[in-house]
Amino acid sequence: MTKIKFGTSGWRAILADEFTVDNVRIVCQAIADYLKESNEARKGIIIGYDTRFMGQRFAEEAAMVLAANKIKAYLCTRDVPTPVISYEIIKRGLNGGINFTASHNPSEYNGLKFSPASGGPALPETTKRIEELANQMMGEAAYREISMEEGKYSHFIESIDPRDEYLENLKSKIDLDMIKKAGIRVAADFLYGTSRGYLDTVLLEAGCKINTIHGYLDPYFGGNPPEPAEENIKELIDLVNEDNDICIGLATDLDADRFGIVDSDGSYIEPNQIIALLLDYLIKSKKWTGAVARSVATTHLIDAVAKNHGIEVYETPVGFKYIGEYICQDKIIIGGEESAGLSIKGHIPEKDGILACLLVTEMVASGGKSIKELLYDLYKEVGTIVTKRENIHLSLEKKSAFKTKLDSYPDEFAGFKVMEVNKLDGTKFLMEDGKSWLLMRESGTEPVVRLYGEAESDQKLKSLMEAGKEFILS
């Protein structure tokens, strides 16, 4: 029997295989049991879903399980972005939220993400306990449920639309007047997801002329994963290329917690570069103070910007839950991951792709320059840093041997001497030049090693990545 397994961002599985109505009921009962044993079931739970197949049905099933456990369920009336769920948890002072989303995974997947009262992603000790409780029930009808039509306990279910209050809060964090003065045209790709009616609404209120694509429901997502990576937003890139009046292209993933940015010439801008640019912008334009947080796999261009401004850098394991802790503690200006997630001071402790897109729009409107021009200006101040990530597929035998190999790593890669080894999450080799590094992290779900690298030039980075790949495969 397959067991329920929570990963970095919740439980994800293939529809009609592991992700079934019955298993969803079991996991929701486990969440109810966890809340009750933690004495955290009195204030209720918000339940949302993205635009995947069966999302609304799963959300209704979750609400019925919670209601049967006498836990108040606030059920969203339409598909909703992950950051909106986070905002609503905090605003209402709820005990948490259940969101049915598999984020950027392909269309055959669905997922369930539990967020605690903080509004951020659940920490490993929380998801581990929910896993244990769920797996104890697997193969049994051990959940409690009512029907949506029953009067008994139905008062524990309340339908809500959290959109308007989230947008009002979001607009307080963006300089709409700055954007209005610039009078710019933007393009937005919703990737068939939840940001339609959110991102475009704020852009229109800010006086932007806007071209939108993929703002309708398609459970197959046009045949591509709904992730705003360069290879998945070719239509947005082409749109920006073909219209000289468009100064920026914006994209969000299905649940709108990740972002993708296209410059005015159709160039895709790496999330690493965007986070560093926004850190610099927020310090200079808003005079914000505090530190910055980034994951171990995220660019040290952030460190260079931080050093330039004399602020501290917090390095975390991969997973936004760790960055969210610093948001909750009000310690950082911005926190981000190379996988296109960020949040800022005074906002939610969760990734927000809608916020990211609006901040980039404000930054472009403020500077009157393209993103590339802003990036070149930043390089002049702190030095050029380029980065790359590659997935190395291994046989199960080679993946097993790889763990042993890391115990006796070489003294250098491609002529770069290893100065320090960081084992915070994976194995990160910091080179003697102080600018170059390699990170090797195993995937927990497939025979893949993720190889990350960074250097001060494309040529040096290419050599470093090739040496890292050779070490992994040898």
pLDDT tens-digit readout, 392-443: 998 877 877 887 888 888 899 999 999 999 999 999 999 999 999 999 998 7
Q: Regarding beta strands 157-160 and 185-189, do their DSSP bridges make them parallel or antiparallel, or are they unpaired?
A: unpaired
Is residue 104 very low, low, confident or very high in pLDDT (cuts 50, 70, 90)? confident
Residue 180 and residue 99: Cα distance in Å, rounded? 34
HEC string for 448-464: EEEEEEEECCHHHHHHH
Is residue 445 very low, low, confident or very high in pLDDT (cuts 50, 70, 90)? low
Contacts of 258 (CB under 8 A, 6+ apart): 103, 104, 227, 228, 252, 339, 340, 341, 351, 353
- Give me the amino acid identity at 87: Y
Is pLDDT larger for residue 473 or for residue 373? 373
pLDDT of residue 149: 59
Helix, strand or coil, per DSSP, at residue 429: strand
The per-residue pLDDT for range 247-269, each reduced to its tens digit, is 999 999 999 999 999 999 999 99
Helix, strand or coil, per DSSP, at residue 38: coil
Q: Shortest CA distance to 3 belongs to which of 131, 116, 106?
A: 131
The per-residue pLDDT for range 427-441, each reduced to its tens digit, is 999 999 999 999 999
Distance from the first to the final alpha carbon of the chain: 36
Mean pLDDT for all residues in the chain:
94
Percent of the chain with pLDDT over 90: 86
Query: What mean pLDDT comes out for the span 89-108?
Result: 95
A 10 A CB-CB count for 178 gives 15
Strand order from edge to edge, sheet including 412-413: 386-393, 448-455, 437-442, 427-431, 416-422, 412-413
Residue 452 and residue 445: Cα distance in Å, rounded? 18
CATH code that applies to domain 386-473 = 3.30.310.50
pLDDT of residue 42: 86
pLDDT of residue 253: 97
Residue 1 has pLDDT above 60, yes or no: no
In the chain, how many H helices and how many E strands?
Answer: 15, 22
Is residue 240 very low, low, confident or very high in pLDDT (cuts 50, 70, 90)? very high
What CA dihedral angle connects 118, 122, 126 and 128, to 10 degrees? 180
Instruction: Give residue for tokens 């909703």.
Output: 80
Residue 442: DSSP 8-state = E
Percent of the chain with pLDDT over 70: 97
Strands (E), 232-379: 246-252, 259-263, 268-269, 291-295, 313-316, 332-337, 341-344
pLDDT of residue 305: 98
The per-residue pLDDT for range 359-391, each reduced to its tens digit, is 999 999 998 999 999 999 999 999 999 999 999
Residue 132 has pLDDT above 70, yes or no: yes
Residue 447 has pLDDT above 80, yes or no: no
Query: Does 386-473 match 6-161 at the fold level?
Result: no
Query: What mean pLDDT comes out for the span 222-234?
Result: 96
Asked if 166 contacts 256 with a C-beta cutoff of 8 angstroms, the reply is no
The per-residue pLDDT for range 170-193, each reduced to its tens digit, is 999 999 999 999 999 999 999 999
CATH code that applies to domain 6-161 = 3.40.120.10
Contacts of 123 (CB under 8 A, 6+ apart): 116, 321
Residue 474 and residue 464: Cα distance in Å, rounded? 15
pLDDT of residue 151: 61
pLDDT of residue 138: 86
Q: Structure tokens of 333?
A: 């200006």
pLDDT of residue 136: 92
Residue 96 has pLDDT above 70, yes or no: yes
Asked if 151 contacts 30 with a C-beta cutoff of 8 angstroms, the reply is no
Is pLDDT larger for residue 154 or for residue 52? 52
Is pLDDT larger for residue 284 or for residue 9? 284
Query: What mean pLDDT comes out for the span 136-160?
Result: 77
- Rounded to two decimals, the pTM is 0.95
DSSP H or E run through 30 = helix 21-37
What CA dihedral angle connects 228, 273, 346 and 181, to 10 degrees? -90
The per-residue pLDDT for range 195-210, each reduced to its tens digit, is 999 999 999 999 999 9
Fold of 166-382: Alpha-D-Glucose-1,6-Bisphosphate; Chain A, domain 3 (3.40.120)
What angle do the packed helices 21-37 and 55-68 form, to 10 degrees?
40
DSSP H or E run through 94 = none
Residue 83 and residue 166: Cα distance in Å, rounded? 9
pLDDT of residue 224: 94
Helix, strand or coil, per DSSP, at residue 230: helix
Residue 117 has pLDDT above 80, yes or no: yes
Query: What mean pLDDT comes out for the span 68-87?
Result: 97
Residue 354 and residue 366: Cα distance in Å, rounded? 18
Instruction: List the chain domain ranges.
Output: 6-161, 166-382, 386-473
